[in-house]
Amino acid sequence: MDDMKVKGTLKGKEMVITGVKPAKPGMGPRYYIEGQGSTEFLKMNGNSYLGLSLNQEVIEAEEETARKFGVGPGAVRFISGTYQPHVELEKRLAKFHGREAAMIFSSAYSTVMGILTPLISGDTVVISDELNHNCIINAIRLSRPA
């Protein structure tokens, strides 16, 4: 672990978000972190790129859908079926992008594994950076490119 610390690759202490100050016009949400008192922080490493995770309309729609269909991971589609809202979203995405069909995935990892693997064959030459996300590296390895 000392070697990792020297190289700068040791995982640091995990920060715990203790509160969120909602966005206001011209300013995105601010976050409060355990041990940092009332200091406000920007969160620049999350997946809510458009701030929709704090949007009241989105929260209300999610709440309504959760009451109708329940919560929890359930299982993958081919085991437990596909929910109607997912089918509707796929249709709307396909129409928006002018495509015949669309498919949504539950995570970036499953998206990359589900998309790259069938696109890469033994005849495909792949040039990939060693610092790519783990899912990209795994999808390439699984595909066994040239």
The full 3-state SS of 37-86, as one line of letters, equals CCCCECCCCCCCCCCHHHCHHHHHHHHHHHHHHCCCCCCCHHHHCCCHHH
Whether 114 maps to a domain, the answer reads no
Task: Please state the rounded mean pLDDT for residues 132-138.
Answer: 92
Would residue 82 count as lying in a domain?
Answer: no
Q: What is the pLDDT of residues 75-125, one digit of tens each?
A: 888 788 888 999 999 999 999 999 999 999 888 899 999 999 999 999 999
The domain total for the chain is 1
* Domain carrying residue 42: 15-69
Tokens 């085991």 belong to which residue?
79
pLDDT of residue 77: 82
Do the domain assignments include residue 120? no
Any idea what DSSP says for residue 92?
Answer: H
In a domain, residue 2? The reply is no
CB 111 within 8 A of CB 131: no
> Domain for residue 142, yes or no?
no
Gap between the Cα atoms of 5 and 112, Å rounded = 31
The model's pLDDT over 3-45, given as tens digits with 9 standing for 90+, comes to 888 888 888 888 999 999 988 888 888 999 999 999 999 988 8
